[in-house]
Chain A
Amino acid sequence: MAQLLQHLINGLAAGTIYALVALGYTMVYGVLKLINFAHGDVMMVGVYMGYATAFALGREARNSLLGVALIFAVAMLGCALLGFLIERFAYRPLREKPRLTALITAIGISFALSYGFQLDIGFLPGASPRAFPEVIEPKEWIVIGDRDVVVWNWQVISFLIAVALMVALQYLVFRTRFGRAMRAVSWDHRVAALMGIPTDRVIALTFMLGSALAAGAGLLYAIKDTSVSPLMGLYVGLKAFVAAVIGGIGHVPGAVVGALVLGLVEEFVVGYAASTWRDAVAFGFLILVLLVKPGGLFGRVAAEKV
């Protein structure tokens, strides 16, 4: 029983992080109908920015609240900028081209980032993973019984941060002017443009927002994992994408639920079956979901307008 509870907690903690990344996929897919393949890698770049900032701050400063805030701010702003640049120079010129063109571009960017960061030329970090400095000192906040169930402080913190960001996002999308514009663009960006909505700006902002969220999530992940590597974007990104599809891509709460479900499933497989199968779980689960409910848990398979 205690074991079950522990797995539940770990699964939820992992799921919230996937959720933050998944939101980026779902938002971009919502406005552009594009699987932003490079999303995970943008996240990875953000984590390296945070990593560099943490080092620049030194041991003292990065353990203060202000230091942590600064690390997150640098990573999130940096990623927002990167997201903006990618959208502006790689995706925007292709917006009216066949969807495949943009998809290939996204794959190309993903590849260039994840393998470019494996070079050890100039400022690039090289292929081997690096230890992410201890930003939040791990503490056991809740201990039940004789360490039967342990909840770590970073689990609670990342859970709270993730929930806060999701609530903020839900508010943004459904309660603000920008959110309305976003939904309009998502519905039909040409018509939205005719209605006087600055679609370019809305799409750019959506990218920036998604990238910033991803950077935040990536940092939480790196803190949990205490490591950072050029390939983390690919793996975390893919799982988050799977989560978004499971929830029904384009559907904001769906992405969150999908991510939590995925986090739990992974945790249970690792806990009760074998940890070496972890990486296969997400995709096996994805294929299963696509077979049973092709639109994801909350989405519908939208019939193409004829």
Chain B
Amino acid sequence: MMETPALPVPEARSVIPAGLRGIFPVLVALVLLALFQWLVSESPFAVYLLSVMGVNIILAVSLNIVNGMTGQFSIGHAGFMAVGAYISGVLSLNLKEVALSFLPVAASDQVLFTVALLVGGLAAAACGFLVGLPSLRLRGDYLAIVTLGFGEIIRVVVQNTNAFGRALGLSGIPQYSSPYMVYFWVFLVVLVARRIAGSSHGRSLWAIREDEVAAEAMGVDTTGYKVRSFVISSFFAGIAGGLFAHFVPIINPGSFTFVKSMEIVVMVVLGGLGSTTGAIVAAILLTLLPEGMRSLFNALGTEGSLAQKVDQIRMPIYGLLLVVLMLSRPQGLFGVRELWDVLPRWIPRKRRGLS
């Protein structure tokens, strides 16, 4: 409505050959990530906080594919995270003593870790398919309930399975994770989300979000697209879970409850349903804010209980935040736009991807 007209298609001015455009950002990221790893690896606290933040970003960006771009509403993302965490965790535990002889130990560990992550992600994706298929054939709000129920089923299954440590949880999972690995996946999920958004698949998802009946009439296989977006989203939730499992001392069913799911939902809604950068910003904000408040209360030397209460108070505040957002600013921070669309005009803009 108040947009400047879109600039011409970028390939006209791109210096990167077409054949390399697909892989180029990955190469750049690998280098930058090494630098980043070197910078932060000194402080254990920074490593931990950044890892938590990265996992949250992966979760928020992946959930945004379903809740934002496709306009469905899943509130069981933590369930898929749990699947990834437990499957990859158990795998790593069992492969702890295994080393690939032709590689140095550290490299071998990372290879095994990657395999464990992928298996966890694929298991989560398979669960996403199983859950999505029946509910995505129906009206969107069924998905909310079914995903919520799915989270519960996962919890019950874990609590009844010895291999998953029942209610006690799994400990002793090798701590393979590093900011490098976490942010490599952050980078991947963002890249995937953006490339989907800019492709015909993304347009089909947006079309479903805008008007399912019309999308179907225009030849879009709405059920198929919904299920696929759900599968992709679950895959990355599983990856996030796997990463999480490899840097926390213990995972138990309590880490993947409805509360966690809601936290991710709040991030996506706050960032703006449909905005990838919005999800990132909100994930960073909602990870740092409670931490910051805790440190602040501690530093101020107020009653120690206040700092402890931060976690408790967070939950009802998230709930109210959702209500207030919906009543006053349902589009969240960015709406469906991306960060570069809302930046002040003097900063050079990227071409608007969509909408």
Contacts and interface: CB of A to CB of B under 8 A. Distances in A.
Q: Tell whether any CB of A sits under 8 Å from a CB of B in the complex.
A: yes
B60 to A, nearest CB: 15
Interface of A is mostly: helix
A287 B131 contact: yes
A167 interface: no
Contact of A245 (B142, B150, B315, B320): B142
Contacts of A94: 326-327
Interface stretch (B6-14, B51-59, B133-141): B133-141
Given A103-B73, A280-B153, A111 B319 contact: yes
Nearest to A108: B322
A104 B319 contact: no
Given A93-B327, A119-B312, A287 B160 contact: no
B326 A104 contact: yes
Contacts of B142: 245, 290
Interface stretch (A1-9, A13-21, A234-242): A234-242
Given A111-B262, A286-B145, A100 B73 contact: yes
B316 A112 contact: yes
Interface in B123-156: 131, 133-135, 137-138, 140-142, 144-146, 148-150, 152-153, 155-156
A116 B319 contact: yes
A119 B316 contact: yes
Interface stretch (A128-136, A174-182, A271-279): A271-279
A162 interface: no
A115 B262 CA distance: 12
Contact of A306 (B133, B213, B309, B318): B213
Given A111-B319, A113-B319, A283 B141 contact: no
Overall SS of chain B's interface? helix
B135 to A, nearest CB: 6
Nearest to A284: B153
A99 interface: yes
Interface residues of A, number: 45
A109 interface: yes
A141 to B, nearest CB: 34
Q: Which size class do B's interface residues fall under?
A: 35 or more
B268 to A, nearest CB: 10
B34 interface: no
Given A238-B149, A241-B145, A274-B160, A104 B316 contact: no
Contacts of B135: 287, 290
A277 B156 contact: yes
A47 B152 CA distance: 24
Contacts of B315: 111, 115-116, 118
A67 B141 CA distance: 41
Contacts of A242: 145, 149
B174 interface: no
Contacts of B150: 283, 287
Nearest to B323: A108
Contact of A118 (B73, B152, B312, B321): B312
A90 interface: yes
B134 A294 contact: yes
Nearest to A302: B139
Contacts of A90: 323, 327
Interface centre among B131, B141, B213, by most A CB within 10 Å?
A: B141
A110 interface: yes
B83 to A, nearest CB: 14
Given A111-B316, A284-B153, A104 B137 contact: no
A153 interface: no
B159 interface: yes
Contacts of B145: 35, 238, 241-242, 245, 286
A301 B135 CA distance: 13
A277 B160 contact: yes
Interface string B201-220: 00000000000110000000
Contact of A304 (B213, B259, B312, B313): B213
B330 A101 contact: yes
B138 to A, nearest CB: 5
A293 B211 CA distance: 25
Nearest to B137: A294
Contact of B75 (A107, A119, A276, A294): A107
Interface string A163-188: 00000000000000000000000000
A242 to B, nearest CB: 7
Contacts of B319: 107-113, 115-116
Given A110-B319, A287-B134, A105 B152 contact: no
A274 B146 CA distance: 23
B333 interface: no
Nearest to A109: B323
Kindly name the residue among A99, A113, A283 whose own CB sees the greatest number of chain B CB atoms within 10 A.
A283
A119 B155 CA distance: 24
Nearest to A239: B149
A291 interface: yes
B98 to A, nearest CB: 33
Given A108-B322, A119-B316, A276 B141 contact: no
A37 B142 CA distance: 12
Contact of B258 (A105, A113, A234, A274): A234
A54 to B, nearest CB: 25
Given A93-B327, A276-B159, 8 more contacts: A97-B330, A100-B71, A107-B144, A118-B312, A242-B149, A283-B152, A287-B131, A290-B138
Chain A to chain B: the 5 pairs with minimum beta-carbon distance, closest first: A108-B322, A283-B149, A112-B319, A111-B319, A115-B315
18 contacts: A90-B323, A104-B326, A105-B323, A105-B326, A105-B327, A108-B320, A108-B321, A108-B323, A108-B326, A112-B316, A112-B319, A112-B320, A115-B318, A116-B315, A245-B142, A283-B153, A286-B149, A290-B138
